[in-house]
């Protein structure tokens, strides 16, 4: 059942929008089985996908927006559970939205500065709100399944890069021949789409058959003191306004494995718009643990309205 109203807080993490639902009416309007956040996410997908569309799709959402639906965690070490949704589906993890969530919870007085653990469909993520607009997270363990993979694209170009994950699946490449600047967004988008279609044509997926639905085009930084710059194509065809926290996690893990980034050294990654994440990686036994720190700002506090007479109260299907 669609609730008539939902209280939400919108934020943006270096330009990338997040919408957090802070309303007990949502939990009261849905029924989910007992189990992990991942299992309950699947039940939500099957039973309540119209709520996803209503929250972040047209006409109430915007390009690149990620919604966060809070749940009680199944893992007793966690303070919260979170489902991440976008205009076309569901995300196992979202770095910018995790930063936005931490800043939002701090702004409304639900958490104090300091660490907490968040259960996501990808696994448990360690999050810290540093106060104000600053937050950071430690990703789930990263993995690289392809190194130096060469793709032949339908537009006649080729691209060589790596397939890696840190909660989402990415193809990361510096082999694209384009400047990472706002003026080139249309060309960057077309290039990244060609790469994604080439991955699909080859049947290349994540290790569990997941689609590689984020393409990361890498380039040199434009500001002194920074280390790299990226354009990231999102699953809905929009581009990430931030450097993409989960992609940056996968990137620093690959750099460390390639001997290009020492443990504990800070890597400053720019987005196509110029926003910067500070990232690093540490070792915990045999496991790599990437960390990303960024800033988010509250952009709106209010209610979404779902009038019974509104033909698009459940969003517009895509």
Q: Residue 288 has which token pair?
A: 């790599």
Q: Residue 314 has which token pair?
A: 């459940």
The active-site residue, picked from 78, 234, 244, 254, is 244
Does residue 94 have an active-site annotation? yes
DSSP secondary structure of 107-167:
HTTSS-SEEEEEEETTEEEEEEEEETTEEEEEPSPPEEEEEEEEEE-TTS-EEEEEEEESS
Q: Cα separation of 174 and 162, whole Å?
A: 10
Q: Exposed e or buried b for every residue in 126-150, given b needs 16+ CB within 10 A?
A: bbbbbeebbbbbbbbbbebeeeebe
Does residue 234 have an active-site annotation? no
DSSP secondary structure of 28-69:
HH----SS-HHHHHHHHHHH-HHHHHHHHSTTT--TT-EEEE
The active-site residue, picked from 94, 153, 234, 305, is 94
What are the catalytic residues?
94, 244
């Amino acid at each position: 059942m669609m609730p008539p109203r939902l209280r939400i807080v919108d934020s943006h993490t270096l330009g990338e929008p997040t919408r957090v639902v802070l309303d007990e009416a949502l939990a009261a309007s849905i029924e989910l089985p007992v189990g992990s956040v991942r299992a309950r996410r699947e039940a939500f997908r099957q039973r309540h996908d119209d709520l996803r569309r209503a929250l972040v799709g047209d006409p109430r959402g915007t390009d690149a927006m990620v919604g966060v639906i809070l749940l009680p965690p199944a893992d007793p070490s966690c303070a919260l559970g979170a489902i991440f949704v976008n205009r076309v589906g569901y995300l196992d993890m979202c770095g910018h939205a995790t930063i936005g969530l931490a800043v939002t919870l701090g702004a409304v007085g639900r958490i104090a500065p300091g660490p907490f653990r968040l259960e996501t469909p990808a696994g448990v993520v360690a999050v810290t709100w540093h106060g104000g607009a600053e937050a950071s997270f430690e990703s789930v363990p990263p993995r690289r399944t392809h190194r130096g993979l060469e793709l032949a694209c339908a537009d006649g170009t080729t691209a060589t890069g790596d397939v890696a994950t840190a909660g989402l699946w990415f193809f990361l490449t510096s082999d694209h021949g384009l400047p990472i600047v706002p003026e080139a967004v249309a060309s960057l988008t077309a290039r990244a789409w060609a790469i994604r279609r080439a991955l699909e044509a080859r049947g290349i997926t994540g290790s569990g058959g997941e689609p590689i639905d984020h393409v990361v085009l890498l380039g040199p930084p434009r500001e002194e003191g920074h280390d790299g710059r990226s354009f990231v194509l999102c699953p809905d065809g929009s581009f990430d306004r931030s450097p993409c926290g989960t992609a940056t996690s996968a990137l620093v893990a690959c750099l460390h494995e390639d001997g290009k980034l020492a443990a504990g050294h800070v890597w400053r990654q720019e987005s196509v718009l110029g926003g910067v994440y500070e990232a690093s990686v540490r070792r915990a036994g045999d496991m790599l643990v990437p960390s990303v720190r960024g800033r988010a700002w509250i952009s709106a506090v209010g209610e979404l309205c779902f009038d019974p007479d509104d033909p698009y109260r459940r969003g517009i299907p895509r």
